[in-house]
Amino acid sequence: MLNKEYFNDKNLKQVSGYAETKYVPSYLVYPKSLEDLNNIINIAIENKISICCRGNGLSYADLVTNKDNILIDLTLFKNIKSWSKDTGIIDLEPGVSFGDVFNLTMLDGWILPCCPGSMDITIGGAISNNVHGKDSYKMGNFGNNVISMKVLLSSGKIIYVSRKENAEIFKAIIGGMGLLGIIIEAKLKLKKISSPFVETSNVLSKNIYETIEVFDKYKDEYDFSVAWADCFSSEQSLGRGFVSLAKWSGEKKIEKKLLEKSLIKSNRKSNLIFNVLPSKPTWFILKYFANRQTFKYFNKFFYNYNVFKKSLGLNLENKLELFNNFNFLHNKMPDIKNIHKPYGFLEFQPLLPIKNIDRNIKEILLLCKKFKTESLLCGVKLHKADEFFLSYQLDGFSLGIDIQIKGKKREDIRSFSNDLFDLVSDCGGKIYLAKDEYMTNQHLKRMYPNIDLFLNLKKQYDNKGVFSSDLFKRILND
């Protein structure tokens, strides 16, 4: 059990977000029980220090750091309280990960929709960022799967929230970045699937406009879509690439034992890149060659390689794959972020409304060219609006702009981000806060119009201001 004496400089640990741009000292604690959580809250209040919750720390930046204050790691809250394969309803603690859920439910024929790109993401983290997946244009964001939650407030009270009970706070906690209370239990509804396999197809596109057309053309027929775009290509072929599509398959031919084995394997992070190269030494060597120019060549090569495959008739229709292998691409490239060590990397993820999408997405790609901040590897997704107050949602397209920090001046990145945020807010879009570290308070207010409503609820439910984060102090707390 922690006590007041624990909070001295000796126990400060250096912690960062996933992108490892900055390490900051915090009191990182690992509670195991409700009693531990209450104890930590009391100590925080007595000592006037704040608390930031953490799942697996896979948010990219200062959303999961809390300089000189407390970080509560919730990954020991890992119990699955109940699972019904008849109804597809699961009751679990917040530290359970997508991988844990899939190991239990997939063989029973159930899946969690709106699944992000890493299976290590916890349910607490998924709810608090209201994450999206490659199916979010159909299924919406993760909050749509949540039936109800139990939340521990800083007053020590536990509230039950759902669409019927405490409905307003329910809508604020989903996407609420852990700023209102600690989610200690959630009840989720899963989706029935006919098998754990998907049929995948890749469709090449000559530029970003064709990519958008492909999304539109196949959106009813397919359950998942995500595109890769070459942001270095010339203006005529700007954003060329391909769209990966997938739909659930009825395939059941595989023997149950073998399926079980493949599922467990596909749910585990490998140490090999594409099952061939050992990741640690490969990234260590490649980091010396990783720069804007080499990524430009890589993007060009990758596009032409796919065109070549298509010309040989090898391309890529109706391939059968395990869902996990399709969805968790990061598992095939474990720890790819190490290529950016020791500087870390940045991802800006603008989400733009459908209206005037061609014009706005082109402007963003050209802005990146102007600042030489073209995305090293750019993923494009289609999204759907939802009801939650602060979530990263609207009917529109997002693109991930990944850039290196190495070799860039902070003021140049600041100028780029300011122009980008102007563009995004002018067209009614949003930047994903789970990955941000450059947002300003003025831009935030334009992108997230419910911010005042949210902050009022925070005053009401966390009146001592116990829950915080470095992101909160940077842009929300003024």
Ligand X SMILES: Cc1cc2nc3c(=O)[nH]c(=O)nc-3n(C[C@H](O)[C@H](O)[C@H](O)COP(=O)(O)OP(=O)(O)OC[C@H]3O[C@@H](n4cnc5c(N)ncnc54)[C@H](O)[C@@H]3O)c2cc1C
Q: By CB under 6 A, name the binding residues for ligand X.
A: 18, 52-59, 63-64, 74, 94, 116-118, 121-122, 124-126, 128-129, 131-133, 177-178, 182-183, 330, 434
Q: Is residue 364 a contact partner of residue 236, using CB atoms and an 8 Å limit? A: no
The DSSP-derived string for 427-478 is: TT-EE-GGG-S---HHHHHHH-TTHHHHHHHHHHHSTT--B--HHIIIII--
**What is the closest distance, in whole angstroms, from the C-beta atom of residue 406 to ligand X in the complex?**
20
Q: Give the other-Cβ count within 10 Å of 343's Cβ.
A: 15
Structure tokens at 342: 């020791």
**What is the closest distance, in whole angstroms, from the C-beta atom of residue 77 to ligand X in the complex?**
7
**What is the closest distance, in whole angstroms, from the C-beta atom of residue 152 to ligand X in the complex?**
8
Which is nearer to ligand X, 131 or 259 (by Cβ)? 131
Non-local (6+) Cβ contacts of 400 within 8 A are 347, 348, 349, 375, 377, 378, 379, 380
Which is nearer to ligand X, 290 or 329 (by Cβ)? 329
Residue at 323: amino acid letter: F
Tokens 């010339």, residue located: 234
**What is the closest distance, in whole angstroms, from the C-beta atom of residue 225 to ligand X in the complex?**
13
Which is nearer to ligand X, 105 or 154 (by Cβ)? 154
Which is nearer to ligand X, 238 or 378 (by Cβ)? 378
**What is the closest distance, in whole angstroms, from the C-beta atom of residue 32 to ligand X in the complex?**
14
Which is nearer to ligand X, 113 or 117 (by Cβ)? 117
Which is nearer to ligand X, 117 or 196 (by Cβ)? 117
Residue 178 backbone phi and psi in degrees, to 5 = 70, 20
**What is the closest distance, in whole angstroms, from the C-beta atom of residue 53 to ligand X in the complex?**
4
Non-local (6+) Cβ contacts of 464 within 8 A are 45, 154
Q: Do strands 191-192 and 277-278 pair parallel, antiparallel, or not at all (unpaired)?
A: unpaired
